[in-house]
Structure 1
Amino acid sequence: MATNRMFPITSNCNTQKKWVGECLQATSNEVSMLWHQRYGHLNFKGLKIFHDKKMVMGLSELKGDNIVCTYCLNGKQTRSPIPKQSNWRADNILKLVHSDLCVPISPTSNSGKRHSISLQDFKAMVEESGKSIKCLRTDRGGEYVSGEFSAYCNEHGIKRQLKNPYTPYQNGVVERRTKTMMNMVRAMLSAKNMPKTLWPEAVNWTFYILNRCPTLAIKDMSP
């Protein structure tokens, strides 16, 4: 830039012609960013539509392909889509058990209960399998990371898998089962106009039903 704030522009002109006419247009990133901010950080694709269809007077051609708006990066962050299915399934009974504690449930039951725990295995008939739990996947709630429970797992050779905070999809199997369970509980209590304090009985009945419903792990069979 010169001292008078002028920018030299080098152009390859065809000097063989007597008259040479050229039209030069320069659009700086600052101008593009200014229009981007004027329209509330609208994406540059939308601004390009304004320009191409001449919907905005005075809007020059913008070049937003290589422009990165740090404010958009901070304000428009989104999580990656949560997978609906697990990438890996256990191939043996109790090889991987999922657990989740649903708390607190309101209202408190007639017997003073406010908690419900879910244990999800990929195979059925666990009671008479004769096998022990190999791995337990849970969140980092205090009920799972306490010293007493950790010592119990170490004593019985149970490997622990703790999901990261604010990532329920890492334990999506039992999270989905808990959601299904609570939906069924609310529907049954509502259908029979039963008091909500009977939710523990509804939970027990719900799991009794779910344990006999078809699953993806066992095709064309009821556990």
Structure 2
Amino acid sequence: DELGDVARSFSTLLQRLNEYTSYLRTLAGKLAHEIRTPLTIVRSSLDNLESEQVPASARAYLTRARQGSERLSAILIAMGAATRVEEAIGSAERVGFDLVAVLESAVAAYRGAFPGRGFRAELPAGPLDLSGAPDLIVQMLDKLIDNAVDFSPPGALITVRLRVDPRVAAIEVENPGPPLPELLPGRLFESLWQSRTGTDSQPHFGLGLYIVRLIAEFHGGEPSAANLADGSGVRVGVRIPR
């Protein structure tokens, strides 16, 4: 009958969507695997060329090729990290943990890891019990901090904040620096979206914040990004249901 045909059509459509989603989730790992060997050959060839007597007029091209290979290498590293997080999410088990204690420990570590930045923690006085994967929460915060460091000037004060209401725990990382361009906040968390250029003048490929989105979704939450009201910086964070 017609209802049966419609049901079968929807079932087929959902199956294809699931297959496509699975393909997209594994695409980064597949690309990283396929690109790694050709890139190694290119870098080895560049090493050999640089040891030869190359005309001065050709040195500029060698330099550009070297920079391009280093950029590809950075992309591969980021793609590998995204793939490992996806695998970790697939096997993660939920446990009870104190989110405040996890954030306190992480911020203390960042003070030693990034001596060129200051860190301020604005956290509730007491514990906040959540169910989830604390190791993944730390990885998520690592990516938020990396983003804040990349887009803030030396000596900047980065704030890690936890806002809590009866239904949601909101983790926010706030940094001074250039504001997000118009329409960009909604795309920051897409895979392989090349976003702003950081204070180190290097392009950023969006995989760090894509990882933030994956971990947030595992915990039933969602990421967000916005400019500060006075235009002095950016706030990026995650809302997780309690």
Q: Same fold (TM over 0.5)?
A: no
If you compute each CA radius of gyration, which structure gives the higher value, 1 or 2? 1
**By percentage of residues, which structure has more strand?**
2
**By percentage of residues, which structure has more helix?**
2
TM-score (ref. length: structure 2): 0.22
